[in-house]
Amino acid sequence: MNTLQSAQAAPSASAVPPIEPVFRPEIVLEPVPAELSSIQRPLSTFETLYRLSWLRKTVILLVLALVWEIYGRWLDNALLFPSFTDTLEAFVGGITSGVLLLRAVISLKTLLIGYGIGIALAAVLTTVAISSKIGNDLLETLTAMFNPLPAIALLPLALIWFGLGNGSVIFVLVHSVLWAVALNTHSGFRGVSKTLRMVGQNYGLKRFALVQHVLIPAAFPSILTGLKVGWAFAWRTLIAAELVFGVSSGSGGLGWYIFENRNSLETANVFAGLFFVILIGLAVENLLFARIEKRTLHRWGMQH
């Protein structure tokens, strides 16, 4: 009897209800508050155009040109300050005649030679500096000595050593590029974390291989800044040097073109030469360095 009663009291296995799996969504969508619903609205035409960097810069240039034109017409003295339209007319005349293009080619050719030599010397110095303490002390001492020294102050010595020609101009260009690039590159190398250095050393990288595969990619923002600063210094130094002694082999660059027209009181041509210098600077900054930044720093997430 007891066995029968216990069997009747115990529930059967078939009577236990099955356990249903619990569904838990991975993403919970919350309702959007009314005050935040405006974020999802499409951008207006003005907002879409405002996001374009090249368009904003173009508007700034147009505003500056308008201010230039208004001031030139208000002053009404073409000898002292020609208007933007007069300068543009002189610029177009110089381009169509080929004079400005020829002078620009001469200047850029000399600039590239000096800029390239300066970058090469800066690379050697920074590599030696990052490889040994003596090299580091050498670079820091040379940078402290020569970086504050204006390149234009070396023109008299350059004339004595190299004569009146491209050699003197290239010498001052190398001086203006070398220390700016070396200083920024060395600062970038020193800013690389020790962890990255040790990882490279664990892979067997030493000296030049460590610099090439670890230090240069990690310090590339500082290196690129040094290249941009070196370019600006070299461009200014070249124009200043050509204003002083720009003739070599019977021809000169943009600086000498400005100097010649200043002596002839052709102020519109002087402004046209300066305008061409500005255009070349804008082209290098926005077509060369901006593309390098976009394909390297922006793509790597090192710059916004």
Domains and CATH numbers, the chain: 98-300 (1.10.3720.10)
pLDDT in tens, the chain (304 residues): 455 455 455 555 555 566 666 666 566 556 655 555 555 567 777 777 777 787 888 899 899 999 989 998 898 888 888 989 999 999 998 899 888 898 889 889 989 999 999 999 998 998 888 878 888 888 888 888 888 888 888 888 888 888 777 788 889 999 999 999 999 988 888 887 888 778 777 777 776 777 777 878 888 888 888 899 999 999 988 888 887 765 544 457 888 888 888 888 888 899 999 999 989 988 888 888 888 878 877 666 666 5
The number of beta carbons lying within 10 Å of the beta carbon of residue 267 is 19
Question: What number of other Cβ atoms are within 10 A of residue 216's Cβ?
Answer: 18
Distance CA 240, CA 254 (A): 10
Over its C-alpha atoms, the chain yields an Rg (Å, rounded) of 33
For residues 70 and 254, is the Cβ–Cβ distance under 8 A? Answer: no
The model's pTM is: 0.75
Cβ(111)–Cβ(167) under 8 Å? no
Alpha-carbon distance values, 57 to 54, 157, 213, 216 (Å) = 5, 41, 36, 31
